[in-house]
Amino acid sequence: TEAAQAMRLITVHGRYHGLGNRVRVALGGLSLARWSGREFGYHWPVNADFGAAATDLWEFDHPSISQWQLALARTRHPLRGHELTWLEEAKDETTWLIRTPHELNLPPDAQPWPELLRELKPVPAVAERITGFHGDYLAGAPYVGVMIRAAAQSHQATRDQSPVSWFSDQMAALREEQPGIGFFVSCDVPSVAAELRERFDRCYFLSDKGDYNSRTALQASVADVYLLAGASLILGPHYSSFPELAHHLAGGRIELRTSQERRGDSVRLSLVTDPLRPAATRVPW
């Protein structure tokens, strides 16, 4: 019977939820499950809108919940939100289903989800791409991470508030301040990255990323997150959780600058000795 089943928590991701939304909700759910003594599972749909399973990206040894298992659970349990104001009323329910694109409002004594992010290990193919590219182009000197959303699929608020011109102006100003500084560009439109490379020397980006949100593209996105996290500063788009992943992966020890805000430390030149552990291996320049 259901009463005899273990208590569990399942995060439920929508087909349109992007990488940053999925990661912060899944890891927030994992933290909440541990805090509440529940088993953790996650529903992570793979389809034309998002072509990679979590296990295609990271070593993530937790049960994946199928569409049919979720449908059965939904006949008995409601979908709940990120605010977690429902915790007390739902404490005796055998299953919590949490569906949201937003960061969970975790209890103060629960483990912060960014700590769990920093504990994740990319799958070997992704890890090799990160370390290989870093070793070939970025190791040994500080650089600026530049993350641009220019594809038509990107949120309109992001494209309106963070045009490519804002990034190129920022890069030009930073090059004036630090003539030797390099750039790593993560962009969802390859031609935009190529144009920036034409304008700025020592400007690098991953090529051969595959089709938008395909498995290949999402694996490249994870590599981008780690390479951005190894920078001294991240220039990121407004209203996007992707650069926030990189900022958390860096332990918040670098500045994240968008057209609307700045968070984290002021710009201090630094570099990482292991791009797979950007928070733990950062050293001043």
Q: How far apart are CA 6 and CA 95, in angstroms?
A: 9
Residue type, 178: Q
Residues 203, 127 contacting (CB under 8 angstroms): no
The answer for residues whose C-beta is within 8 angstroms of residue 233's C-beta and 6 or more apart is 144, 145, 174, 254, 255, 257, 267
Rounded distance between C-alpha atoms, residue 213 and residue 219, angstroms: 9
Looking at residue 178, its pLDDT comes to: 93
Residue type, 162: S
Q: pLDDT digits over 92-116, tens only? A: 999 999 999 999 999 999 999 999 9
pTM reported for the whole predicted model: 0.94
Q: What is the pLDDT of residue 259?
A: 87
pLDDT at 124: 98
pLDDT, position 172: 97
Question: Which pLDDT score is estimated for 157?
Answer: 67
Q: What is residue 39's three-state secondary structure? A: strand
Alpha helix stretches (DSSP H) within the chain: 19-36, 67-74, 113-119, 124-133, 156-161, 164-177, 190-199, 215-229, 242-249
Q: Do 25 and 98 touch, CB atoms closer than 8 A?
A: yes
Regions of the chain with pLDDT less than 50 = 1-4
Please tell me the predicted confidence (pLDDT) of residue 154: 64
DSSP class of residue 76? T
Task: Please report which helix (H) or strand (E) contains residue 262, including its range.
Answer: strand 262-263
pLDDT at residue number 180: 87
3-state secondary structure at position 183:
strand
Query: What is the CB-side half-sphere exposure of residue 76 using CA atoms within 13 A?
Result: 11
- What letters, b where the CB count within 10 A reaches 16 and e where it falls short, cover 180-203? ebbbbbbbbbeebbeebeeebeeb
241-270 pLDDT per residue, tens: 899 999 999 999 999 999 888 888 766 899
Q: What is the pLDDT of residue 266?
A: 66
Q: What Rg value do the Cα atoms of the chain yield, rounded? A: 20
